[in-house]
Amino acid sequence: MPRTLIAIHAHPDDEASKTAATVARYAREGVRCILVTATGGEEGEYLNPSFAGRDPADLPDLPELRARELARSAGIIGYQEVISLGFRDSGMAGTAANADSGSFAALPLEDAAKPLVELIRRERPQVVISYGENQAFYPHPDHIRVFEAARTALQLACDPLAWPELGDAWRVPKWYWSLWTRERFEAVAKELANRGIEPPFRMQQRDGDDHLVTTRIDVSGTLAVARDALLAHESQIDPSTPFWFAISPEEMAAIYPFEEYHLVGSAEEEEENDLFAGVELS
């Protein structure tokens, strides 16, 4: 039975800014890695200043460009398959797009979860990664919906009475939330300060998920892959952003070589260092 991991993200670029180094590591170890991206990021804007000042008529269509960037990033990370669910971006919290009845966050939860149930039953992953419950700092409706849809899908995928036409029930043994820890931020901020660079104000205000860490993955070997994946999102990423790019992957590996996760329902007292720890593969 192959080791299979499914990562569920909200928009093109989320797969590069979160979980990328971890997935890259497992992909290089031969794990079948599948990316789900819920929306096309239609509500995004050109965020890279290199696009500024260009005649809007000369700019490529943003959703098309973002789909190409997503494909490039996923290829760099090592995903074997990219599944774009095709839901509509709901926009940042408080924007007019939230009210669009066709948006991902506005759809009935079961509609959002159904394609995930079908995928889980088909692929029988041992590991699913999504966002977590606590998204108070960045309450993007699509990110909150990824959490809710993942939770519902994992419950229904193992219920043989739910959508039996979608395949045999499958219980995913390990569901992880990707985390944002203060520990990591402080390490980056300290290194930036050593170089006279002010760490981003927004990040300084943010509480961390440190108390939720159950699992710490050493990603020292794939931080460069994650950086390259992020740079593939040309329209979204300013390559001069110090927070992401001032510290090289090699330097980062020396400062803080981990990505952290929360294993849902874990009763283990000891931290894990492998997403597949304890999984039976027969």
Nearer to Zn ion, 92 or 231 (CB): 92
Distance (Å, rounded) from C-alpha 121 to C-alpha 125?
A: 8
> Shortest gap between Cβ of 8 and Zn ion (angstroms)?
12
The residue range among 2-10, 88-96, 123-131, 242-250 that interacts with Zn ion, by the rule CB under 5 A, is: 2-10
Q: In what order do the strands lie in the sheet with 215-218?
A: 81-87, 32-39, 4-9, 127-130, 174-178, 258-263, 215-218
Q: Per CB under 5 A, does 43 bind Zn ion?
A: no
Nearer to Zn ion, 14 or 123 (CB): 14
> Shortest gap between Cβ of 9 and Zn ion (angstroms)?
7
> Shortest gap between Cβ of 281 and Zn ion (angstroms)?
32
Nearer to Zn ion, 10 or 113 (CB): 10
Q: Say if CB 172 and CB 159 are below 8 A apart.
A: no
> Shortest gap between Cβ of 121 and Zn ion (angstroms)?
26
Nearer to Zn ion, 137 or 278 (CB): 137
- What x/- string results for residues 5 through 24 when contact with Zn ion is judged by CB under 5 A? -----xx--x----------
Nearer to Zn ion, 98 or 220 (CB): 98
Residue 49 burial (C-beta neighbours within 10 Å; 0-12, 13-18, 19+): exposed
> Shortest gap between Cβ of 143 and Zn ion (angstroms)?
6
Query: Per CB under 5 A, which of residues 179..208 are in contact with Zn ion?
Result: none
Distance (Å, rounded) from C-alpha 214 to C-alpha 227?
A: 25
Q: Which of 128, 131, 166 is nearest to 148 (CA)?
A: 131
**Residues whose CB falls within 8 Å of the CB of residue 149, separated by 6 or more in sequence, listed in order:** 8, 38, 109, 112, 113, 116
Residues that bind Zn ion (CB under 5 A): 10-11, 14
